A and B are shown apart, each in its own frame.
Chain A
Amino acid sequence: MAGVRLSGVTKRYGAGITVLDNIDLEVHDREFMVLVGPSGCGKSTVLRVLSGLEPVDAGEIRIGDRVVNDLAPRDRDIAMVFQSYALYPHLTVFENIAFGLRVRKTPKQELARLVGEAAEVLSLSDKLEKLPRHLSGGERQRVALGRAIVRKPQVFLFDEPLSNLDAKLRVQMRAEISALHKRLQITTIYVTHDQVEAMTMGERITVLNGGHIQQTDEPLTLYNTPANRFVAEFIGSPPMNLMSLTKKDGVFQYAGHPLPFTGNTGAAEPSLDTVLAGIRPEHVDVAEGGGGLPAQVVLVEPMGGETIVYLALEDGTRLVAKIDGMRRFTLGETLMVTFDHQQIHWFDPRTERRISL
């Protein structure tokens, strides 16, 4: 059992491209840490430097109490599930799972027992003699998991393991991987670009963008107090609405409209002339009359339990509202929009950092 700590880790490809820029990340022993960010932000690179497949240009990597910077992948006691699964095509399921054990010269009987156990946990017992190419996508995924868990390493690294599965299987495997983690209690770093996966699976989540860590927190903390504009927009679906407000007569206003939220706004950083207000779709309400900002209905997505309404304000700014239940809306109709003013997030438009009132 071991925690993982990256301190000041920097990784460059060639001279120009800095893929990881001074990353500090601590993953506790037994923790399930999700690393989330858009494609190309450096998530896989974090796993690759952690596993030793790529050297770092600066910084220190610790697994447990060992500095592993100079250790080869095989000496780091980690297991990795690749996005492509990377199953050995010429070996049966049994041999794929047994591969790491054989390399470590595990005695025959123990090897058979361990592989059998792993196969049992992953419902692969009747597939052991098959070759990977005769398996379905979900089964291949399980074999890749089996190969990782059978060795009981100190750390699991998952690189977007579910991205090749269809939606239904993805939801199922999500739960299975979470259950597996509860059972095995092995420190896990799980990479995904899907914020739903991150929110549902992570004990803590690290948001990465452009090779920088944006925020590390528990899922709900991340959702309720995003540290900056990027996190605010990245976490949550549909994404958070952002409106630029300008101060006039000591009060922040939107496009000259008297704002539906008052009072609290005046207390924002007094030096700022403009602020970004972030409002989650579920905190936007619409009504057929009364006060608020007038907005036109552009698109309606009835989801059953809730309805997503896309609105256009008078200056063309788009807003998304998530309305409980199945209220009916007509395209083109004008509604009055109000916000739950307790739930507004404020960001400095220059630094894009969160500011508090």
Chain B
Amino acid sequence: MNTRLRMITDAIVWALSSVFLLVLLATSAEAAAPLDGASAWREECSSCHIAFPPRLLPAASWQALLGGLDKHFGVDASTDPAHGAAISQYLAAHAGPATKSPAASPPLRITTQGWFVHEHDELAPSVWARPAVRSRANCSACHAGAERGQFDEDSVRIPK
């Protein structure tokens, strides 16, 4: 093999192995870093519905919900233990005040809470059934800022 070609192949091999090593380092660093609770929560809890703001349920409710993610309102929402632990910490730290429910059976829905029913008591049942709404939990159908945790009256728009 002529020396020039040899040098080129050597350079290629060097370049490739450096890239390989860098990738290896980067991925192992990623695996070792602890998960950030807020991003784990957003990543795992906002695919099927908006990420419901932690303040809307007490800590006991979040804990109960996280304990049953494999059977979550008719779907499998299970996550790996690392994400589960990070989300659990995040929700506990930002949860709303405790309700009067007995500790053993905390409420699992926001939409059955007294305050929710009260705030929405002007809405006819037929409004909830509209195709564009479909579910009471579909907050963003009517609250433009729901994804950002904003539910003020000014931004409410009920779809036809």
Q: Do A and B come from one complex?
A: no
Could you tell me which A residues sit within 8 Å of B by CB distance?
A: none
